[in-house]
Amino acid sequence: MLVGLEQLREDLHDLSPAADLHLHSVYSDGTFTPDQLAAIGRELGFVALALTDHDTVEGCSEMAQACNALGLQFIPGVELTTEFNNREIHVLGYFIDPTHTDLNDLLLTCQLARRERVKRIVHKLHQINVPLKGELVFEIAQCNSPGRPHIARALVRSGFASNYEEAFEKYLKKGRPAWVPKLKVGTAEAIELVHAAGGLAFLAHPGISNVEDCLDTLIRMGFDGIECFHSKHSPEQSERYTQVAISRGLLISGGSDCHGYNKDKPLIGGVRLPMRYVNAIVHRHAGKPR
């Protein structure tokens, strides 16, 4: 079945029960607590939410409780940074068991690497005469999974950048003087680990990951689904990935990738994933052998 633009517009503007399956909290680089995300999600009329912090599942139990109290369906998740063919591929794991040993081992390794990376970035900043205090970054981050958004906030607060975007433009993005690559696990390995932890693996925001020439190879690695709807996808991209997913028998996901108040207004509410897609994910997960 092909999904036409008309159908897509209906999906995107549909105010019937919907979900946001891509949210970041203060446990990684978002600015909202899981409680706040649940409350805002409820306010915006969502009926299901997933927490997908970078390299951590620490916020999942808090968010599960908050969603439960508000009558919202909750899907525990995580976003892993992986590498395939020199490309950075983000993998979303849904329904992962937050206590799974191997998954937690990987998450701890990634978190440690993130903290070391912050120190290396700060060191690089010092080398170009930007004396940012490393302690300030960790004070702002207050989590085990610090990232560039925390450094950007510290740069703004210390007057080394006039705003969040500028901090990335001047110092932090690839090709800028303080750029340091992140620890990345292989894409296939990440998918395997998500599966081992009882979860379903989704290819995150393909529209912004430069995967056009390797999409087929990636799909064959064992992804269960594609994040077709994302704040940074155009309607045409969403339609195309939806068609790819349907034609390959893959599940369809979507979310705002909200990080809270980092720059403009929070992205939550901008993507409303129709519940039939969520139900298909839940159904597939329920039928998975464990």
Which own/partner pairs from 69-73 qualify as long-range (CB within 8 Å, at least 24 positions apart)?
69/38, 70/38, 70/39, 70/42, 71/42, 72/38, 72/41, 72/42, 72/46, 72/47, 72/48, 73/19, 73/47, 73/48, 73/49, 73/278
| Pair of tokens at residue 265 | 């207004």
The site map against ligand AMP for 255-284 (x = CB under 6 A) is ----x-------------------------
Site residues (CB under 5 A) for Fe ion, limited to 186-205: 204
Two tokens at 85? Answer: 């063919």
Phi, psi for residue 191 in degrees, rounded to 5: -60, -45
Name the 3-class secondary structure at 8: helix
- Binding status of residue 114 toward Fe ion by CB under 5 A: no
Which is it for strands 200-203 and 87-94: parallel, antiparallel or unpaired?
Answer: antiparallel
Asked if 54 touches ligand AMP (CB under 6 A), the answer is yes
* 165 is an interface residue for ligand AMP by CB under 6 A: yes
What are residue 84's DSSP bridge partners?
A: 87
Q: Which does 90 bind (CB under 5 to 8 A by kind): ligand AMP, Zn ion, Fe ion, none?
A: Fe ion
Nearer of residues 40 and 118 to ligand AMP, judged by Cβ = 118
Q: How far apart are the first and last CA of the chain?
A: 31
Out of 148, 170, 205, 233, point to the residue binding ligand AMP (CB under 6 A): 148
Residue 207 interacting partner from Fe ion, ligand AMP, Zn ion, none (CB closer than 5 to 8 Å by kind): none
The distance of closest approach from Cβ of residue 275 to ligand AMP in the complex, given in angstroms and rounded to an integer, is 26
168 sits near ligand AMP (criterion: CB under 6 A):
yes
| Binds 170: which of Zn ion, Fe ion, ligand AMP, none (CB < 5-8 Å by kind) | none
* Angle 28-31-33 from CA coordinates, rounded to 5°: 80
Q: Is 119 among the residues that bind ligand AMP (CB under 6 A)?
A: no
- Contact between 252 and 277 under an 8 Å Cβ cutoff? The reply is yes
Are the C-beta atoms of 156 and 163 separated by less than 8 Å? yes
Coil, strand or helix: which one is 148? helix
Q: How far is the CB of 287 from Fe ion (least distance, A)?
A: 27
Q: How far is the CB of 71 from ligand AMP (least distance, A)?
A: 29
Q: Which amino acid is at 74?
A: F
For the CB of residue 79, give the shortest distance to Fe ion in the complex, in Å: 5
Instruction: In whole angstroms, give the CA distance from residue 70 to residue 37.
Output: 11
Asked whether position 240 contacts Fe ion by CB under 5 A, the answer is no
Between residues 29 and 227, which has the closer beta carbon with respect to ligand AMP?
A: 29
With CB atoms as reference, the residue minimizing the distance to ligand AMP is 147
Residue 257 in the binding site for Fe ion (CB under 5 A): yes
Which range binds ligand AMP by CB under 6 A, 13-21, 124-132, 142-150, 210-218?
142-150
- Binding positions for Fe ion, rule: CB under 5 A: 79, 90, 204, 257
- Binding positions for ligand AMP, rule: CB under 6 A: 29, 54, 147-149, 165, 168, 173, 182, 259
